């Protein structure tokens, strides 16, 4: 979902921001937060609230609340740690992205072995010009950076 003054296309001078959550299907807090964020942004924009108008007129915000819908569906409501973490094929999507430095080390990226969810996000990353991103996880107090 893209929100902003021109949600369907990039506008020169308008920065692109990306939120992704629920990469591990059993980490549901980020999914809930992003769905709430969508609701707040749309409601604020419709009600002509200054903060929402300013934000959505000056930034194009992309939101992917659930990267791992199969894992989310499989997640146990009793909080069993690993149930739902992986996708339908049993793959941890967080480990499926190509190494950003592989080409520097003359390594080939095997795109055929990429999970469909990872392939979709990689394609998305190649079509948009994000200046800032956040990948929301749950269960630990961690800040990761490249």
Split at pLDDT 50, 70, 90, the class of 3 is very high
Model confidence at 103: pLDDT above 90: no
Residue 124: the pLDDT is 94
pLDDT on residue 59: 96
pLDDT digits (tens, 9 = 90+) for 129-143: 999 999 998 877 777
The domain in which residue 100 lies consists of 2-136
| In-domain check, residue 59 | yes
pLDDT at 27 over 70: yes
**Nearest-angstrom CA–CA distance, 4 and 126:** 20
- The answer to whether residue 76 sits within a structural domain is yes
pLDDT at 141: 76
CATH number, residue 74 = 3.40.630.10
Q: Domain total for the chain?
A: 1
142 part of a folded domain: no
Q: What is the helix (H) or strand (E) element at residue 136, kind and residue range? A: strand 130-136
Q: How crowded is residue 14: how many other Cβ atoms within 10 Å of its Cβ?
A: 15
CA–CA separation, 123 vs 81, rounded Å? 30
Whole-model pTM: value is: 0.85
* pLDDT score recorded for residue 104: 63
| pLDDT band of 112, cuts 50, 70, 90 | confident
């Amino acid at each position: 979902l893209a929100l902003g003054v021109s949600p369907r296309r990039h506008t020169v001078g308008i920065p692109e921001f990306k939120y992704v959550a629920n990469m591990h299907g059993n980490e549901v807090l980020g999914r809930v937060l992003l769905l709430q964020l969508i609701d707040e942004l749309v409601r604020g924009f419709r009600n002509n609230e200054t903060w929402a108008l300013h934000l959505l007129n000056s930034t194009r915000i992309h939101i992917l609340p659930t990267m791992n819908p199969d894992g989310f569906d499989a997640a146990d409501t009793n909080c069993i740690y690993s149930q739902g973490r992986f996708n339908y094929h049993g793959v941890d999507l967080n480990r499926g992205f190509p190494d950003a430095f592989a080409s520097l080390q003359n390594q080939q990226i095997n795109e055929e072995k990429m999970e469909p969810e990872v392939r979709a996000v990689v394609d998305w990353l190649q079509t948009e010009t994000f200046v800032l991103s956040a990948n929301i996880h749950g269960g630990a107090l961690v800040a990761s950076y490249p």
